[in-house]
Amino acid sequence: MPGETKRIREIIRLLRKHDPQSRTALEFRNPFEILVATILAAQCTDERVNRITPGLFRKYPAPADFARADRSELERDIRSAGFFRNKAKSLIGASRKIVEEFGGSVPDSMAALVTLPGVARKTANIVLSAGYGKAEGIAVDTHVRRLSQRLGFSREDDPVKIERDLMAAVPAEDWLDFNFLLVDHGRAVCQARKPRCPECFLRRLCPSAKTFFPGLEKR
């Protein structure tokens, strides 16, 4: 619909205007480090992950080092990230496959990335966008899921279906950093428990603002 397309483009324009440097808060130096950091970030804050990874990458600087890591020791190294047993298993498994099947380099396609243990579309999208500057989809994390529903981009609850709706609605040239734009806005303004609609620059374009704050659209 022409009107909806115009609304979405205006939302993206405003998000870029207010946060022109939007990018992942995870700290990394190469595609493998953003892969590791993204796996660790599941059900964990980026801030905590950023406290873990400097020492982790000194100890395990390359995929081959993770591939031959002692699992119990790696679990201790990442314990504070939560779900450390599953994450250690994923890190070792993904690293072994990178070494054995991809020549020690993180693959740069969605099809290849999702074959790595512990890597689904969300993680793959972040690795592609942040690590390679490529977009084959849109990463749907908890912030993107929440804002997609509040902004009326999707009525779905399943991340895969939300991504499908976003890919149909959002111009392809905006896929690369769309996740980062929504994540930053979700953290700063459109928070889960108490959205700050009165001060939100998207309030006139957001169908949920009048639900949270009746009469707000008249301001």
Contact, 98 vs 32, CB < 8 A? yes
Q: How many CB atoms lie within 10 A of CB 41?
A: 23
In the set 122, 174, 177, 184, the catalytic residue is 122
**Cα gap 201→28, rounded to integer Å:** 31
The answer to whether 91 and 57 have CB atoms below 8 angstroms apart is no
Residue 161 annotated to the active site: no
In three-state form (DSSP H/G/I as H, E/B as E, the rest C), the secondary structure along 157-187 is: CCHHHHHHHHHHHCCHHHHHHHHHHHHHHHH
Catalytic, out of 87, 97, 141, 177: 141
Distance CA(126)–CA(148), nearest Å, equals: 17
Tell me which residue has tokens 């529903």: 149
| DSSP letter for each residue of 78-119 | TGGGSSHHHHHHHHHHHHHHHHHHSTTS---SHHHHTTSTT-
Minimal CA–CA distance to 32: which of 102, 103, 106, 110? 106
Q: Are 189 and 19 in contact (CB under 8 A)?
A: no
Pick the closest to residue 77 from 64, 92, 96 (CA basis): 92
Asked if 158 is an active-site residue, the reply is: no
Residues involved in catalysis: 122, 141
